Structure 1
């Protein structure tokens, strides 16, 4: 099953001021053996032009993978900590993700992923982040 979809990604960093980044983009939505897969091309607006984003969705976790000018594999598992490398044209950084809350409600017609996590980049103070991914099958 390969379906066209509209992907909406909203990311909010909860610090002194709320920094909200929102992207709406066309993409592909697939059913896989153990869940679902979403793919879309990043745009100049996201600052990652030349990068493909892949989201692997399972019942209780998801991976956010970027390939191209920016490369990473970020793993989100409820109440678990993971470590990844984030490779950009400017260098490589270690990122730590401490997933505080994760809700996945996705089926063959699309759905929503909501997660709240602490993101630590290169030893800097952790940023509390809310991430919402909505998949609307066309």
Structure 2
């Protein structure tokens, strides 16, 4: 069952010799329980993130979070604490092979919302490209109160 939720995302990117970049986004999305302790969180990207026309989905499982983007940008990134995963990042300008090294990951996502935090490093062509931190808060969307 899809549940309408409000998703607050704070993303911080750190690169050498460049000032940190922080993006904050609040959007509506859907939370779906897939199995025991497994959830899917999805939302449409906006112009603010530069990924307009892209559907972003987080699949949250025990010990693993998979981030998938489908649309203008197509990618799949797998996060597992202490592990390195390779993936393709397909943009309108071309495809890149990237490595994801997850340093820390935690999720308290449940049927009523919760938090996800992912701290990871990105490599492009085996060279460190930057450190990223995702902080995501999910809460149930409250409908208007109708009094009789």
What TM bracket, shorter-length normalisation? Answer: over 0.9
TM-score (norm 1): 0.93
In terms of mean alpha carbon deviation, does 71-80 or 27-36 score higher?
27-36
CA–CA distance in 2 between the matches of 1:106 and 1:54?
Answer: 14
- Per the TM alignment, residue 55 of structure 1 is displaced from its structure 2 partner at its CA by 0.7
Equivalent residue for 2:130, pick from 122, 127, 131: 127
- Per the TM alignment, residue 123 of structure 1 is displaced from its structure 2 partner at its CA by 4.2
Query: What is the correspondence of 1:38-117 to structure 2 with a 5 Å cutoff?
Result: 38-117=41-120
Given that 1:60 and 1:104 are in contact with CA atoms closer than 8 Å, whether structure 2 keeps it comes out as no
Residues 33-72 of structure 1: CA deviation (Å, up to 9, x unaligned): 2500011111111111111001101122111000011000
RMSD (CA atoms): 1.3
Number of residue pairs the alignment of both structures matches = 138
Q: Which residue of 2 aligns with 1:31?
A: 33
Given that 2:114 and 2:139 are in contact with CA atoms closer than 8 Å, whether structure 1 keeps it comes out as yes
TM-score (norm 2): 0.87
Provide structure 2 residue ranges, at least 5 long, that are not aligned to the other structure. 142-148
CA–CA distance in 1 between the matches of 2:134 and 2:119?
Answer: 6
Q: Which residue of 2 aligns with 1:10?
A: 10
List structure 1 segments (4+ residues) > 6 angstroms apart after TM superposition. none
Residues 74-128 of structure 1: CA deviation (Å, up to 9, x unaligned): 0001111001000000000011100011111111111111111111124443311
Task: Pick the structure with greater CA Rg.
Answer: 2
CA–CA distance in 1 between the matches of 2:57 and 2:66?
Answer: 8
